[in-house]
Amino acid sequence: MEAQTKTRVQHAMICICCRNVFNISFAVEDYIDWKQGKHIQNAFPYLNAGNRELIQSGTCSSCFDELFPEEDDRDPSDDNHLEQ
């Protein structure tokens, strides 16, 4: 009941890594709930994990994958290219 009375507004979220703009629709009330300590999964149950990541950390899902690659994907020969 309560969830259906909220109005979702489209927000332009800019990825801090690739600077791409993603339009994500969510209710401002849900954002406030999250800021006040609600788990992001519970605050935005209607968003996919990638969009939640963008709200939470400011990085899109593809940049997040690059920042935190799965260990099995690492190619040892790439170590020399790491600059950070």
Q: Which residues form the interface with Zn ion (CB under 5 A)?
A: 15, 17-18, 60, 63
Nearer to Zn ion, 4 or 23 (CB): 23
- What tokens were used for 30? 């849900």
- What tokens were used for 70? 């799965």
- Hey, CA dihedral for 19, 22, 28, 33, is it positive or negative? negative
Nearer to Zn ion, 55 or 60 (CB): 60
- In angstroms, give the least distance from the CB of 20 to Zn ion: 5
User: d(Cα 65, Cα 81) in Å, to the nearest integer?
Assistant: 17
Nearer to Zn ion, 19 or 81 (CB): 19
